[in-house]
Structure 1
Amino acid sequence: MRIFLAVVLAAFAAQSASAESWRAYHNPRFGTTAEVPQGWRMGAPPENNDGRVFTSPDGRAEIIVSGMFSIGPRKEEFALRLGPLEGETIEYERRGRDWLVVSGVKGEKIFYRKSLLSCRDTIWNSVFLEYPASEKDKYDPLVGHVAASLRAKCK
C-alpha cells in the first residue's frame, strides 16, 4: 500500500509541474521568443532592450530570455559560450550546427543555458535558468519546457 501511495504522489507531483500555466515572452529587438511560467514576475526592461529577467514567486529562481548580436567567428563564439562563467562547474554540454546547451552548478544553484544562432548567423537567441540545486526535481520539467519553447524570428 505504501508503494502504491508513493507512486500516486509522484505521479501527482509530475502532473502538477506539467500543468503549469505559461505565457510567451517575445523580444522585438532580436526576435527571441520563449515561454515562461505565468506566475513569475517580469523585471523592468534593460536600457538596450535585449531581453527580460523573470523571477519565481519565492524569489529563489530566475529565467532570462535574451538576444544579442554575434560578434565574431562562429568557432570562437561557440567555444566562448560552451565555457564556464565565473564560479561555474559545467556538468553537461551539447551542441549542434547552430545551437548549444550548457548546464552545471554554481555554488548551491544549478544553471542551464541554451542558445540558438539565427538570422544568417548574426543573432544569438538565449534562455538562461538558475535555481536551487536542492529543488532540482521541481525545476527539471520547467527547464525542459522553457528550453523547448526557445525560438528565433528574423526580421
Structure 2
Amino acid sequence: MRIVLQRAKEAKVTVSGETVGKIGPGLVCLVGFTEGDGEKEVRWMVDKLIHLRIFADEEGKMNLSLLDTGGAILSVSQFTLYGDCRKGRRPNFMSAAKPELATELYNGFNEALQGKGISVETGVFGAMMDVSLINDGPVTLILDSPSE
C-alpha cells in the first residue's frame, strides 16, 4: 500500500464539474494498492497516518498529529502510484491491485479512518477526477506499508 500525502489548508475533488469531496485543514491522501495488500497493510497505514506528527505546534515545529489537530482527510484512489516507469516510455501498471481488490481495500481504508474519529471525504473510485488543494508548507510525504 502506498500513499502520497500532502498537508493541506483546504482541498476538494470534482467529478464532471461536481464537487464530490471537500475538506478544510488536514491531509490529501492519494491512495494506491498493490497485489498482496490486505487488511494488515490497511491497519498499519491508518495507524501511521493518524499519528504522524507533521502539523505545527505553538512553536511552529512539526510536532502534532492529525488526531491532535482534528484535521480531516481527503482520500483519493490512485492506481497510478504503482506505475513502473523504469523501462520504455509508457508506465507499466502490472503491480497495481486489480480493481475488485483495490475497491475493497480503499473502502476499508476510509472506513477504518472514520472508525478512529477522522472526518473523511473521498473522490469516486475509478473516475476521472480533478483534485485541487492549497498545500500547507508545502509538506508532501510518501508512505509505503512495510513489505514482509
Per the normalisation by structure 1, the TM-score is: 0.28
Higher relative contact order (Cα pairs below 8 Å, separated by 6+ residues):
2
Per the normalisation by structure 2, the TM-score is: 0.29
Larger Rg: 1
